[in-house]
Structure 1
């Protein structure tokens, strides 16, 4: 297997339960920053965060991304994913530009149509509604295309002839502008078709632990097929740079008694079939939890991990920063070298 970027992906759950290490939103946010710092010290390549609205999870990502950027110096900082149905793409471009400049150009933003949310049509409460003849998925892709366009940094707005402050010549662009951010936008694709669409317009690919069940084959094989379809579409589009591709996995090396207590009982070693809405049959990828030798053997058979250049480890953030740092370290120290990832 080729060498890989290895990062973590946190959903940022919190719960008032006494069994939770994150009992409030403040806990989830502050511990997310601490885990990113710890992951950088361990040599991990990325700190990524999920975005869910109307839930006891991380939501508005840019304050967190900026804070992580200010506290770290090397690690990539990203999302997986921002639901574009909820976003004003111009305001988002300003937020993203600011956070990327604070981080020194380390943002890797995953965006997407999003997944089913906690409330019905939650984007309506944010002031967005698809026009007649357009679906919410169409609206998300339209928002994404506007976002990508303004990230290019081209002027488009007519300046006021009597501005409060002097303007540069010509049409005005959004500020602050962060050069290069446009090439660090990823699309979270649920199907082969949306992966090909993302490639066509020059976005990197994020593929999570679920996708549309398009062939009935095991999840990792379907995901590998999706990645190959993305790369074929990228090549056909004629882009000059090489794209990046990430996959997400729940992977736990059982190296001490805590690991065995938390994850040694099994239960999710097989793919699962379900429905993410009334019409979409989805396949959910298995988790991996095993002693080191067995874990390495199992992961070596995962075709999608082999195809991707980036692996995001989904972490159980409610178990606390120290334990999650241990989970990441075990993968970096024991599993990655054995598989040739590092």
Structure 2
């Protein structure tokens, strides 16, 4: 648990980057301004969700590239990139390019498996190869090899005036150590640990045992990850819960926040669907109240990094208030110090 002796070490935030279909530029600009604000407030990292065929950021790599030119310190991540939408070699090129542009600040998160709504999107994504695409962990292993700088072709050659490398270019040597796996099951937690990755655990997990307590299930996955990781207890884990402090919020904002959380609360009471998906309740209250909720959370007590998720559908000014309260009140209450 973060305490005065063991404070919260890393504080980040996660945004979906919503936009209006008729004016997408304004929403993307809002996201960039939020990232700039996060840097000014001293956040350690800003993370972007992926949304495909929706009105949220579909190309985080492009938005991160833009953010590298408007920030100097804050780390930039994805939580997470679903690899079923990506060619691993091309994605490795994109990530390495943005990492070079950022000066080594990229923290890409990824996940394997079929994309969401696979039956709907498969023919648009892979009209000729959907039945043969490898959507397993093997796809992630291809990405790791490409980012790591493994040789992917027969050799480096020169043909006429053209020089060719046998590995992805540009190569960013430190990027492999900043890859995160976003997992919600014991299998994915163990796989990420065995492959030496960092681990993102969010507000969604799968109940695979007898327990239906969200925090207990999440804690089991954190421990499984570290048990499989070469670094053991020192392996990096970041937790992403929806956190909404109300310290400086107006009465109207507080009413909006509480209505949002109440609407989403029923899904948290029991596992959902055949895979027994579990959702964490949104944490709404003053920073002191949220601090106490987190200190009572079994999984939070074993981590020292967080990327608190911003709610999906609020206004820009709401996000400014929430981020400001997190950075100036909740973070310090958890022992965190803003980056200079």
Structure 1-normalised TM-score? 0.86
Residue 197 of structure 2 is matched in structure 1 by 203
Is 1:178 aligned with 2:183? no
Report SS of the residue matched to 2:56. Answer: coil
Deviation at 1:183, TM superposition (A): 0.9
Instruction: Please say if residues 151 and 181 of structure 1, whose CA atoms lie closer than 8 Å, have aligned partners that are also in contact.
Output: yes
Say if 2:292 is the partner of 1:297. Answer: yes
Within 5 Å, which residues of 2 pair with 1:262-273?
262-265=256-259, 267=262, 268=264, 271-273=268-270
Contact 1:130-1:139 at 8 Å conserved across structures: no
1:72-91 matches, cutoff 5 A? 72-91=71-90
Partner of 1:244: 236
Alignment partner for residue 161 of structure 2, among 145, 161, 164?
Answer: 164
**Secondary structure at 2:226 match in 1:** helix
Q: Distance in 1 between matches of 2:114 and 2:205?
A: 11
Return the offset for 1:163: 4.0
Aligned to 2:57: 58
Taking the aligned partners of 1:307 and 1:283, their CA distance within structure 2 comes to 20
Does 293-302 or 144-153 show the bigger shift? 293-302
Unaligned runs of 5+ in 2: none
The question of 1:9 aligning with 2:4 is answered no
* Residue 272 of structure 1: how far off its partner (Å): 3.5
| Structure 1: gaps (5+ residues) | 17-22
Aligned residues: 323
Contact 2:181 2:192 in 1 (8 A): yes
Bigger drift between 25-34 and 141-150 goes to 25-34
Contact 1:82–1:114 (Cα < 8 Å) also in 2: no
Superposed CA RMSD in Å reads: 2.4
Instruction: Tell me the residue number matched to 2:130.
Output: 129
**Cα shift readout 1:299-330 (whole Å, capped 9, x = no counterpart):** 21112222223211211364343331220121
User: Could you give the per-residue CA deviations for residues 49-80 of structure 1, whole angstroms, max 9, x where no partner exists?
Assistant: 01121111111221111111111111110000
Q: Is the 8 A contact 2:78 2:110 kept in 1?
A: yes
Q: State yes or no: 1:233 paired with 2:233.
A: no
**Deviations 1:179-228 (CA, angstroms, capped at 9, x unpaired):** 11011111111101110111101111011111111233311121111101
